Every structure is written in structure tokens, then in C-alpha cells.
A and B are shown apart, each in its own frame.
Chain A
Amino acid sequence: MIGKISVPFRIVVIFLYLFLLAPILVVLPLSFSNDSYLTFPPESWGVRWYVAMFQHAGLINAFWLSLGIASVVTALSLAVGIPAAYAIGRHEFRGKEFALSLFTAPLLLPSIVLGLAILLVFVQARLLGTVTGLIIAHLIVTTPYVVRIVITSLSTLPPSVEEAATMLGASPLTVFRRITLPLMAPGIVASAALSFLLSFDEVVISLFITGPRLTTLPVEIFNYVESQTDPMTAAISVVLVTATLVIIMLIERTLGLSRTIGK
């Protein structure tokens, strides 16, 4: 665990955390404002905007759409990413470096460039404003993370452990199921959580693809903030932050964050 930390370092860390968390800490009281516009501190208190939020059909529809898309995207990026990572991490083949670059290049590209490129392709393919289009676009963002994280967790797993199982009589499939998969589990859970959150939060690329009849939650919030300046956005933020925290705490409780993300 963490050893002794000097006092000045401790103070620096506290200030860094304050700096990072300050916006969230401001949002929390703001969300319980009963005012019709954003003021800090609020003049009256209440849960008016939480109620309004749950009655806002556009937001609720967008929430369900985002939830659905994030779930499908997570499942698909694992289905694509795990075998890809296994092939790259465990086998030698021609074009291995190329495959790795191909799978991880989107990590390096600015989302705005990626979004524009996707837009150009999707216009041709008639995928704009469709759920399929959104899922494909999100997969481009999430799969590189899955591949990266799973390769990392594979690299900490020495091949001799799998070879030992082989020598004891396990077929390749059994080795994967009984040895490789359980030992990769922390990496898989981490990449699943990350895929879900990335897809659920995705704004930039979604902005290019969504249309008036199909809007994800972040895009809906974005549009809402552009036209309205009332404390409902604060209420939405608090709900989203809480949901994210719950997911992260569940991972921490079941597996340990340090274990999932790396050594």
C-alpha cells in the first residue's frame, strides 16, 4: 500500500483533487435549486428540476437510447476486441504490427477528425441518423480501448501458465476457458466498463450522426444547454456522476480498480 507521504506532497494532492472535483462539488448544491435560472448560491431550494428532468420526454427517450446503444456497443466491442487482442498478444503472424496499429489508431485521432471521416462515409452508406450507424461509430471509439487493455492484461499472464494446462491434457479451447479467460477477467471487466462509459458519454462523434428523430443522452443534454440555462442541467449532471460512481465502485468492490486497470 501507500507508504509515508510527506506533508507538502499531501497538500499538493489535496489541492489537485479540489481542482479536479470543484465543478462537480458546485453542481451538487446547484441541482437542488428551485430557481428558474442558474444562480449561485440558489435563492430557493427544492427538487423541482429533478422532477422536471424525469418528466422531460426528450431526455428520457434519449437516456433509454443511450443505455441500449452503450450495452450493445459494449457487448460487440468485447466480442471483437478480445479475440483480436488474444491473436495479437499470443500469436505470431504476418502483419501483426499492422493489425495492432489498425486496431489502436483511433485512440490517437482527434474525435472531431474521426467524426468528420465517419460522417463522410456514412452519408454514402445511408447510415446517418440510424441506430446501426451510432453503434458502428461508437465501436470505432471503444474497440481500441478493449484491445489495448486486454493485450496489457494478457502480457502480465505468462504463456507458460497456459502451456502447463496444455501439458496436463487440456485442449486449446479448455485452456482458454479454464485458464486464459479467468485470468483475463479483470482486464475484460475493466474494458467492458470503459466501453460502456465511453459509449454512454460520447458527444462529438454522435453529434455528426444523430438527427432530430434520433438523439443520444449527451447530445440531448448538449442541445438542451444550448437553448436553456436552468438548473435542470445540474440535476442531470448529478444523476450521471452518481451513476458513473456506482459503476466504478462496483468494479472496485468486486475486483479492485488497481487490479483491473493494471499493476
Chain B
Amino acid sequence: MQTLASREDARPIAIPQAEPQPDAAFLRLRGLTKRYESGFIAVDNLDLDLPKGKLLGLLGPSGCGKTTTLRMIAGLASVTDGEILIGGDDVARRAPHKRDIGLVFQSYALFPHMTVAENIAFGLDMRGVSRQEARARVEEALEMVRLPGYGSRKPKEMSGGQQQRVALARALVIRPRILLLDEPLSNLDAKLRDDMRIEIREIQKRLSITTVFVTHDQVEALTMCDVVGVMAGGRLAQLGTPSEIYEKPASLFVAEFVGRANVIDCEIVGRDQARIGDQVYRSDTKGLSGGKAKAAIRPHRISLTPDRDRALVSNATNSARGRIARITYIGDIVQYEVEINGAMLKVEVPTASAGHGFGADDMLLCEWKPQDMLVFGS
């Protein structure tokens, strides 16, 4: 704090950025690559555009390169090749402390020897903001994260959720050009995580700050983000809105990673025709008209009908006769494992509508719509 200048600071209070055209990408990654000395490629020639004010979620299993991508944007990991453009300037080779990026760590990373107010004021101090203005901005930031009056506490005197909010306030008070969130919710318990998810999203929208959010949790990615990038093996497996990712997965990997899916070996026997065992189903073969393939059907997109009601089955849907092998009660839903044509299908039915009285070994009909059967060539 001692280096805070007492002079009046000329910086305006409002976010001092010129608004680019609304649809122009504010964050652009061009051929971004990270290759380690061992030859391992963590991030492989990544291209990505994110419009201003949007929240991008990078989703993927551990080791997919999402955290490395975030650390390269932050400048904490060196860039082997490629460009990172923020509002038009390439910052790929700029020192991290000159990038003007806010970063919230999974572990919060608060400074344990400073009070909450000193933690938040640190970045303002580095920018030479006057003590008077800093005090006002710290108070404003604490109010934004709903912790007014907590400034004199030490981080260790606060709960995990409160520390997370302080970390968020500390990253935002400097009015960064971009906000990066590295699995910010994974150290919180389930209830708090739901609340923080909403809170972070609201703050992000209110400030309209371009944000990149790294997570391995698909619920976080789908519920919070404007755009989701699913990563695998250092590449983008798919980039799209949450509903595109969920409804129109570009690959089997995406279909299985985001949400649950039954994956069944099949053979494409014609355009939008897939054969499982000796039966042909209508499906979405994405333009393929032959070859071995795998079909993905989400468990809750399958409905169950008693076998005797076969006459009621609409011709517009696929149906398969099967035998219930196992029933699992999971609270909100009941999961049936149904054997059809030698394949095992998981079917999920809301508990409230599961009152059919199905039992193990009952024969029944599984039905699903052609567009819910996604076939990927192998």
C-alpha cells in the first residue's frame, strides 16, 4: 500500500475501452500451439474467435489442453507458435504482467498476508491508482460480490465461497480487457457451486466482459456459457452454443462427453438408415450412406411402452422390442437397462412418469425419434 501515489489519478471510472462492432471477435486465437521439449503437443494449432462480452467455456477431460490454452492467454505458459489477439493486438509474446488480464484461480490464490481490501487493492496499486480512488473501487468491488464490510478480514477467516468471491473482485477491480476463470467452482460444495454459477454469470453479463472459463464439468459449461468449446487432444472437437453441442454433437467424443449417451455398433445401409442386428432404423447419418458406424442415443430421449400397446406406436419413430435387464432407482429418474437385438440400451424416465409398473424381465418397446439417433462413421 505504501507505494500508492497520493496524486489525483486521471483515469476515468468508466471502462475505458472503445466499443468495437458488436459481432467482431474481441479475443482471437490463431494457430495457437504449445509443444513441450519432450515433443508432447498440449495445444495443437487452435483457432478460435470470441465476440466481445461473450462467455466462452472450454470443456474437456483432464489433459485435453484447456488449462494450457488458458495459461497461454494469461501469459503464464509460453506460446510455442501462433497468435493471441485481444482487441486487435497480438499479446502472445507480451509479459503476463503487461497483458491486463484478470485471472481467477481454482485455489483462489489470495495473498494470505494481506487483508481482503489489500488483496483487492493490489492490482490498483500496481497501476498507480490514487489511494482515495482505490478505496472507493475496492468498496464497490466488495459490494459487487456481495461482501460489503469484509475488507478488514484476512482470507483465512473466510469460507471457500467468500474467498472465491474476493478472488473474483480482485480480478475484476482492475477492469481487465479479458477475464479468465480456471475451474473456479470445483473447490466448492454442490449447493454453493449452483449459487456461484449464477452469480458469476450475472456479474459477467452486467460488466459485459469477454470471459474464458475452463471447466471439466459439462453442467457448468452448458448452463453458464454463450459458447462452448469442447477440447480433446489439444484440439477443438467442437465449438458452438450449448444447445448445438448437446443436440448436434459433431463427433462421438462430444456426444459421449457432453451428457450421457448409449453408444451402439451399427452399420449404415443407406442415407439416414442404420442397421443394428437385423433391424434397420431411421437416423441422422450426417450424409453418410454406408460403412461401419456407431450410433449414439441419449437415455432420456428413449421412451418405453408396454409391449401389448404395439399398435399405438407411431410410424414416425423408431421402435425396438426389448427385455428389461436391470432397474436402478436414482431419485429424480429411474434408469432401465433394456436388451434389444443383443445390444444394451440405457433408458432414463423421470420418476414421476415411471409408474408403468415395469419389472425385471418384462418385454416392452423402446421408442426414439430418428433425429435423436446420431450415427457417426468410424
Contacts and interface: CB of A to CB of B under 8 A. Distances in A.
B111 A165 contact: yes
A170 B97 contact: yes
A165 B122 CA distance: 8
Given A167-B171, A169-B100, A161 B74 contact: no
Contacts of B96: 163, 166-167
Q: State the majority secondary structure of interface residues on A.
A: helix
Contacts of A167: 74, 76, 96-97, 99, 101-103, 171
A178 to B, nearest CB: 8
Interface string B83-101: 0000000000001111111
Question: Which of B75, B95, B105 has the most CB atoms of chain A within a 10 A radius of its CB?
Answer: B105
Interface string A149-182: 0000000001011011111111110100011001
Sort chain A's interface into a size bin. Answer: 10 to 19
B103 A170 contact: no
Nearest to A157: B112
A169 B113 contact: no
Nearest to B180: A167
A169 B97 contact: yes
Contact of B174 (A160, A169, A174, A179): A169
A169 B123 contact: yes
Interface string A110-133: 000000000000000000000000
B126 A164 contact: no
B127 interface: yes
B28 interface: no
B320 to A, nearest CB: 51
A183 interface: yes
B108 to A, nearest CB: 8
A185 to B, nearest CB: 8
B19 to A, nearest CB: 24
Sort chain B's interface into a size bin. Answer: 20 to 34
A158 B76 CA distance: 14
Contact of A168 (B75, B112, B123): B123
A171 B97 contact: yes
Nearest to A174: B126
B131 interface: no
Given A163-B76, A174-B126, A168 B170 contact: yes
A168 B105 contact: no
B111 A164 contact: yes
Interface in B125-175: 126-127, 167, 170-171, 174
Nearest to B74: A167
B24 interface: no
A45 B25 CA distance: 90
Given A163-B76, A166-B76, A179 B105 contact: no
Contacts of B170: 164, 168
Given A168-B122, A168-B126, A158 B107 contact: yes
Nearest to B107: A160
Question: Which of A161, A169, A178, A183 has the most CB atoms of chain B within a 10 A radius of its CB?
Answer: A169
Question: Which of A168, A170, A182 has the most CB atoms of chain B within a 10 A radius of its CB?
Answer: A168
Contacts of A161: 109-112
A158 B109 contact: yes
Contact of B112 (A170, A178, A183): A183
A134 to B, nearest CB: 37
A170 B122 CA distance: 9
Contacts of B99: 167
B116 to A, nearest CB: 14
Interface string B160-202: 0000000100110010000000000000000000000000000
Question: Which of B100, B105, B109 has the most CB atoms of chain A within a 10 A radius of its CB?
Answer: B109
Contacts of B174: 168-169
Contacts of B122: 165, 168, 170, 178
The 4 closest A-B CB pairs, nearest first, are A168-B123, A169-B126, A160-B109, A164-B109
Interface of A: 158, 160-161, 163-172, 174, 178-179, 182-183
Given A161-B110, A166-B96, A169-B174, 15 more contacts: A161-B109, A161-B111, A161-B112, A164-B105, A164-B110, A166-B76, A166-B97, A167-B96, A167-B171, A168-B97, A169-B98, A169-B127, A170-B97, A172-B97, A183-B113
